[in-house]
Amino acid sequence: MSYTPLTAVFEFEGGHYVPLLPAVFDFGGSYAGYVLPPSLVTSLTSTWSRPSAAADAGAVAGWSAVGQRDAVGVSGWGVGQVVDLQCDAPWSGMPAKDSSNDLEWGTASAMDGAATRAQWGDLPAKDLGVAPGWDQSIQPVEWQVRLVYNPRVPAKDATTRGRYQRSAEYRARKLQQQSSQLYVPPQPLAFAFDGGLYTPSVNGAVFFTFALPPTVAGQIGPVDASTGLPVRPARRVNHGSRLPWGRATPLDPVPTGIEYPDYEGPITIITPPAEPDILETYMIANSVSVVVLPDRVALDATNIRIGRDIDSFAWTLSANLFGRTSLNQVRPDASGPKEVEVTINGHVWVFLIERYSGARQFGKEAYTVTGVSRTQLLAAPYAPPRSRVNTADINAELAASNELINTGFTLNWDSYTLGPPDWTLPAGAFSYQSQTPMQVIAALAETAGGVVSPALASDELAILPRYRAPVWQWSSAVMDRIIPAAIIDDLGSEWQPQPDWNSCYVSGTNYGVAVDVRRTGTAGDNPAPDVFADWITGTEVARSRGIAEICKGGQQEIVTLNLPLFPAETAPGLVTPAQLCEVRDVDETWRGLCLSTEITAEGIGASRVKQSIRLERHHAEGA
């Protein structure tokens, strides 16, 4: 808001300042208070009464007469020296020439009352409505700018309005601006700048600001709180119709194209085995190397034998060394057993040398060393026995994984695709005394009809089913290896018939269930020996164990095959225990379960290598 006077005259030393017409002063802003300018103090009066001498007439204050004895500079509290006249305070006396610059409320001359009087002292009546807000003079007409945030909603919108009657739900929030007000002093004011800039008083109570106040936040604006979506767990549908016996085991080896929208488990495609190449002549460049870890010092060894059977949890090594120098490279010391790495045709094993024996003859020393794979570290004498009991429900896979905590080993238990299945052990059921981690893991695998399969060189072990598919379903099952007759060097068999069992009674002891597992399509009249185990606490584990026991019976033979050890990228490669193999013989094709594998090498370097496997073949319908 601005005010335009008729004529504004400022008294400056050396002449008059006449601004251009019209002169405009913008007093928009805030007013902090009012105090008299510090240049005039009307409350100080002189205490002397003598008239001053004629020479002091120029320093006489304009508002009273000074006595004669005051001419010598006597102060109110004593008689001062003449020399004190040079350091009088500036407010004790004013030169006569400054009388023309007196403020309007002092004693002004006649010419000051008319010519230099500020024209804005008498404000028109229309400006009275802009009185400052701190003096209770606000007129009722100014309330018309008040914002209302709770307008009444029409009746038709009563069902869709917000709960808190907010307005402008979708409008951007705007800040309210503070309106400036015009300050009207009670009397005319005169500004004396004396040719310089205006400097406010240091400790004054009145300051004038001509700057526009910044935009500040006004009252709280509406927000779209009523349009937010609540976040909470999704509603569970068809909770009562789910199957109570857990996840189903996928039986299809390849995708069938049928979608199962209600199945949430993983879908694993079992890749069929690679077809071996049938050639007239096979040329294999065998390569054998034995080094001591971690320095990888080459070791001269002969008669190397590596093997494992289906019921073992570690690979074994046997080799011959010549000379005490070679023996000292692998002989155990205060740090424990030494590790050796054996590489045969690209397949790598790592062994711990546990024992050695020697034979000395005149001019000849020969030693035989034996070792095991690193999974032996989970058994005696390396792992101390311990006891445990579970205080809460726990599943078998988690219980086996807990045995490997802080050991560096990892467990792979594919309970959905390969098996064996996982099950729950209630509180108090999973208990044992003085058992090593490997004993506990092997016992859990045996409870479900599975076996422990160690890795060749890494700290890993897997739980595999002894019979990935029942014997009577081998003809339709996906095999792990295909062995053609063209690569079989030698073949032998041993007939080992067993009763043709068709049922098995499996039960827990202190905890668990009792299940009579019967082969489908049979009367179950030839049961296998009953099985009792502490950790059989579910029907799924009892069924898996019963199938494994029934598969051990029937007319069967143990077939031994000698074949080359092909590299990993060439089929069939290395055949390991618990793998199902399809043997394509000259006159027939049959399937069998690998029970053991043995690799022999005559020496290091370019050596003669042979792989010997033992297969369990069943002569039954569907096998």
Mean pLDDT calculated for residue range 314-335: 91
Rounded Cα distance, 137 and 140, in Å: 9
Mean pLDDT of 20-48: 50
492 pLDDT exceeds 80? Answer: yes
Can you name the residues that pair with 334 across neighbouring β-strands?
none
The span from the CA of 170 to the CA of 168, in Å, is 6
Angle 435-441-447 (CA atoms, 0-180°, nearest 5)? 105
Is the Cβ–Cβ distance between 153 and 210 less than 8 Å? Answer: no
- Of these ranges, 21-35, 109-123, 398-412, the one predicted with the greatest mean pLDDT is 398-412
CA angle 190/196/202 to nearest 5° reads: 75
Both structure tokens of 291: 């080094």
Q: What is the average pLDDT score of the chain?
A: 76
Give the separation between CA 435 and CA 397, rounded to whole angstroms.
18
pLDDT digits (tens, 9 = 90+) for 128-145: 455 454 555 555 554 444
> What is the enclosing helix (H) or strand (E) of 71?
none
- The residues with which 332 forms a beta bridge, in sequence order, are none
pLDDT tops 80 at residue 22: no
Q: What is the SS3 assignment for 512?
A: coil
Q: How far apart are CA 106 and CA 65, in angstroms?
A: 16
Q: For tokens 């030839």, name the residue.
A: 526
Pairwise CA distance, residues 610 & 344, whole Å: 10
**Taking 80 as the threshold, does the pLDDT of residue 32 lie above it?**
no
pLDDT in the model for residue 384: 93
pLDDT at 565: 95
Phi, psi for residue 615 in degrees, rounded to 5: -115, 140
pLDDT of residue 146: 47
Q: Is the pLDDT of residue 551 over 80?
A: yes
How would residue 258 be classed by pLDDT, with cut points 50, 70 and 90? low
Instruction: Tell me how far apart the alpha carbons of residues 210 and 290 are, in angstroms, rounded to a whole number.
Output: 94
pLDDT at residue 179 in the model:
45
Q: pLDDT (tens digit, 9 = 90+) per residue, 225-248?
A: 455 566 666 666 655 555 556 556
> If DSSP codes are grouped into helix, strand and coil, which group holds residue 173?
coil
Task: Give mean pLDDT, residues 377-389.
Answer: 94
Strands of 166-300, DSSP E = 288-293, 297-298
Give residue-wise pLDDT tens across range 265-305.
Answer: 556 566 788 898 888 888 888 999 999 999 999 998 999 99
pLDDT: is 621 or 555 the higher one?
Answer: 555
Q: What is the pLDDT of residue 281?
A: 86
pLDDT band at 57 (very low <50, low <70, confident <90, very high): very low
pLDDT of residue 273: 87
Residue 596 has, within 13 A of its CA and on its CB side, a CA count of 14
Contact by Cβ (8 Å): 597, 575: yes
Condensed to tens digits (0 to 9), the pLDDT of residues 191-229 reads 666 767 666 666 655 656 555 555 544 445 555 545 556
- The pLDDT > 90 percentage for the chain reads 46
Q: How many CB atoms lie within 10 A of CB 215?
A: 11
Q: Is 304 exposed, middle or buried (0-12, 13-18, 19+ CB in 10 A)?
A: buried
Res 101: pLDDT: 53
SS (H, E, C) 437-494: HHHHHHHHHHHCCEEEEECCCCCEEEEEECCCCCHHHHHHCCCCEEEEHHHCCEEEEE
Question: Which of 480, 453, 483 minimizes the C-alpha distance to 469?
Answer: 480
Tokens representing 156?
């038709």
Percent of residues in the chain assigned helix, strand, coil, to nearest 5: 15, 25, 60
